[in-house]
Chains A and B, each alone.
Chain A
C-alpha cells in the first residue's frame, strides 16, 4: 500500500468519526442530554426513601414514596402537573398555589367507593425549604375555608378536618400534609358518614407516614 493510500484511509476514518461525533454533539446542543429536570429534587428525596444498593444492575430503582389506598382506583398520576392529562389532579385553587411554588412533578393515587374517597399525593419542590413553604401555604388554604387542626396528629404532620353539622353520622373531610425531603406529601379522605371515614383515613395516614417518614 502506498503512502497516499494509507493517508486516504486515515482521512476517511477520521472524517467518519468526526461526522458521527459531530452529529451527536449537534443533537446534544440542540436537545440537551435528556436529563430529567426533576432528577435533582428527586435525588434530595431519595435519602428519605432509603437508598437502594448502588451495585444493582439497571437504572437505580426508585422507592415508592406513596401508599396506594385500598379500593377502586380513580386516579393514578406520576409526572408533570403541566401535562394536560394531569389537570384533574388538584383543584384550580391548589393548582394556582403549586404553580406559584414552581411545583411540576406530582404523583398521586386516589380511590373511591360509596363510603369513602381516599388519596395520597406527592408534590416535589426544589429543596427542603421550598417544601416547608409549600406546606404552610397548602395548610393555610384549608385553614381559611374552615378546616380545624387536629391535636392528635402524628408528629410533624398537620391534619385538618372539616366536620359537618350532622356529627358522627354526617359527612366529613380530612386533609393531612407533611414534608419529606424536598417533597410535600398530602393524604386526604372524605365521605358521607364520619364513622366510616375517620378510621379509614387514620389507617391510611399511619401507613403513609410509616412508608415515607416525616423529615422536617
Chain B
C-alpha cells in the first residue's frame, strides 16, 4: 500500500493552520463559527429575545435534523474530531514531547485568560455565562478550579467557564492517545485501547457518584478517537474496514454513555455525533482544490487558528456586551457588536500568549 504524504510540519507556531489538510482546517473554522453562533442563540433563549435568523434556523434546520443547542454541540464535535486528526497527524510526523506540550499548552492557555476576564467581569457585576446562572462572587478557589479545569468534574463545583470541558476532553484525548501508543506496533490497538478506557469510565459513571460527571464529559472523547482513526485510514495506516469498525464502535460507546445520563439524553447527542462524523469523513475524503482555495482565505484561517479563544471568550465577552446593548440597539446590530468584541478580545488574547507558544529559534 502506498503511504500518503503526511501534512508538512509547519515552520512556525503549533497553532498554525498549515499543519492540517484544507478540509480539516475548514471544519475547525466551521465548528468554531457554529459554537459562537450557538452561544448567541443561548443568550437569546435565556432572554426570550427573538432574532429572525436564529428562530428560522431552529425551526427549519435544528429541529428537522435533530441537532439541538443551535449547532453548538455539533460545532464542538467537529472541533474534537479535528483535534483527534491533528493528534494522529502529529504522532505520524514524529512530534517530540516538547512540541506536544507546547501544542496542549496552546489549547489550555485561553482557559487561563478567559478565567481572568470572567472573574474581572463578575467582580464588576457583569452578566457572564456561568453554570448555574448565578455564581457567587468568585474567589481564589473559583479561579483555581477554573484554571485547573477541576470545576468541570468535581461533583459540587459550579463551572466558571461552562465550555471549558472541551479543553479537558482535548487534553485527556491527547494524553490517552499518547499512553495508548505504548501498545506497540499494531496500529489499531491504540484507538481500541482508548475506547476500552472510555467505556470503563462510562460504566463506572452510570450510577450517581463522583464519576457520574466525569462520564458525562467522557461521552465526547470517542470523537477524538474517531478523528485519529480517520487520519489512520487516510494515511493508509489501517484499512478502511478496520477504521469503519473502530469508528462505529466509538459511536456506540459515546451513544451508550449519553443515554445513561439524564442531563445528556434529551439533547439527542448520538444524532449530533453521527452528523458531525459523517460531515467530517465526507470533507476529508473530498477535500480538494476548492477546499484549498477556501482555506487560503485569511478570515477562515484566522477563525481556525483561534478556535480555542473563540469557544471560550464569547461567554465572558459577548454576554456582558449583549446585556448592555440589547435594550438600546436592534438585536441584529447588538449581535454584530458582540461578535466584534469577541474578535478583538480573541486577537488580544492570542497576541498576549503567542510569544509563550512560539518554538525557540523561530521568528
B151 on the A face (CB < 8 A): no
Which A residues lie at the B interface, using CB under 8 A? 53-60
- Decide yes or no whether B70 CB sits under 8 A from chain A: yes
Q: Smallest CB–CB gap between B271 and chain A, Å?
A: 7
Cβ-closest 3 pairs across A and B: A57-B68, A57-B66, A57-B268
> Once the chains bind, are A55 and B266 in contact (CB under 8 Å)?
no
Total number of B residues with any Cβ neighbor in A under 8 Å: 19
Closest to A59 in B: B63
Q: Indicate if the CB atoms of A55 and B70 lie closer than 8 Å.
A: yes
User: Is there an interface contact between A55 and B271, defined as CB atoms closer than 8 Å?
Assistant: no
* CA–CA, A58 and B58, complex, Å: 10
CB of A57 within 8 A of CB of B62, answer: yes
CB-nearest residue of chain B relative to A56? Answer: B68
Query: Are A54 and B267 in touch, CB under 8 angstroms?
Result: no
Residue in A55, A56, A58 with the greatest tally of chain B CB atoms within 10 Å: A55
Q: Does B41 contact A (CB under 8 A)?
A: yes
B58 touches A55 (CB 8 A): yes
Closest chain A residue to B55, Cβ basis: A54
**Shortest distance between the CB of B39 and any CB in chain A (Å):** 11
Contact of B69 with A by CB under 8 A: yes
State which residues 54-80 of B face A: CB under 8 Å. Answer: 55, 58, 62-63, 65-70
Residue on B with the closest CB to A60?
B63
In the assembled complex, how far is the CB of residue B49 from the closest CB belonging to chain A, in whole angstroms? Answer: 11
A59-B63 Cα distance, complex, nearest whole Å: 6
**B331 CB-CB contact with A under 8 Å:** no
Docked-complex contact B69 and A55, CB < 8 angstroms = yes
Report chain B residues within 8 Å CB of A55. 38, 41-42, 45, 58, 62, 68-70
**Of the residues A53, A54, A58, A60, contact of B66 by C-beta under 8 Å:** A58
Decide if B70 touches A56 in the complex (CB within 8 Å).
Answer: no
- Docked complex Cα distance between A56 and B65 (Å): 11
- Give Cα distance in the complex from A56 to B70, angstroms: 8
Binary interface profile of B, 13-44, with partner A (CB < 8 Å = 1, else 0)? 00000000000000000000000001001100
User: What B residues does A60 contact at CB under 8 A?
Assistant: 63
Distance of A92 Cα from B356 Cα, bound (Å): 82
Residues in A neighbouring B267, C-beta threshold 8 A = 56-57
Interface residue from B45, B67, B266, B268 paired with A54 (Cβ < 8 Å): B45
27 examples of A-B residue contacts, CB within 8 angstroms: A53-B45, A54-B45, A54-B55, A54-B58, A55-B38, A55-B41, A55-B42, A55-B45, A55-B62, A55-B68, A55-B69, A55-B70, A56-B68, A56-B267, A57-B62, A57-B63, A57-B66, A57-B67, A57-B68, A57-B271, A57-B272, A58-B63, A58-B66, A58-B68, A58-B268, A59-B63, A60-B63
Report how far A60 CA is from B62 CA in the complex, Å.
11
Q: Return A20 CB to nearest CB of chain B, in Å.
A: 19
Q: How far is the CB of A194 from chain B (nearest CB, A)?
A: 43
| Cα A60 to Cα B55 with chains together (Å) | 13
